[in-house]
């Protein structure tokens, strides 16, 4: 079976650095998975962006949300979570940049599906996602 494919959702304005670290460290994860860096590289009209991201998320096995301290202003993250739910793509979050259990979560992400940046926990969450939603 091919490695699971993960779409990474993050606050572009505030957590791009954490996304780069996460992707780099993922290469050493105990659970092999492929991260798809499919964030839009250019500004697109809203409808065009939505169509593009819908398709990219639908081609993944899971959506991993990097939860930073400024999630209340990250409207694109909330939209990506809703797109994942439309396509039955499992979602979980990872706290980054000093965010914690008291931090705001983006709309649609459950607190009990959000974990610390710990690769053993992330590997377990990936394994769980591969038994849920469209991956059953």
Q: What is the pLDDT of residues 34-87, one digit of tens each?
A: 876 666 666 788 899 899 999 999 999 999 999 999 987 888 999 999 999 999
Q: Which residue's structure tokens are 């699971």?
A: 4
Given pLDDT bands bounded at 50, 70 and 90, which one contains residue 116? very high
Q: State pTM to two decimals.
A: 0.93
Provide the CATH number for the domain around residue 105: 3.40.50.11200
> Domain residues for 108?
5-135
Whole-angstrom distance, CA of residue 10 vs CA of residue 23 = 12
Q: What is the pLDDT of residues 1-18, one digit of tens each?
A: 678 999 999 998 899 999
What is the pLDDT at residue 1?
62
Which run of H or E residues covers position 73? none
Whole-angstrom distance, CA of residue 35 vs CA of residue 3 = 10
Number of domains in the chain: 1
Q: Is 17 helix (H, G, I), strand (E, B) or coil?
A: helix
């Amino acid at each position: 079976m091919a490695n699971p494919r993960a779409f990474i959702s993050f606050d572009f304005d505030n957590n791009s650095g954490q996304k780069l670290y996460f992707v780099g460290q993922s290469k050493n994860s105990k659970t092999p998975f492929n991260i798809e860096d499919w964030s839009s590289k250019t500004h697109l009209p809203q409808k065009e962006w939505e169509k593009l991201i819908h398709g990219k998320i639908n081609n993944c096995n899971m959506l991993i949300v990097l939860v930073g301290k400024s999630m209340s202003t990250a409207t694109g993250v909330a939209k990506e979570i809703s797109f994942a739910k439309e396509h039955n793509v499992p979602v979980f979050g990872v706290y980054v940049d000093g965010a914690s259990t008291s931090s705001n979560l983006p709309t649609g992400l459950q607190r009990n599906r959000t974990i610390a940046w710990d690769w053993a926990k992330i590997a377990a969450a990936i394994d769980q996602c591969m038994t849920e939603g469209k991956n059953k």
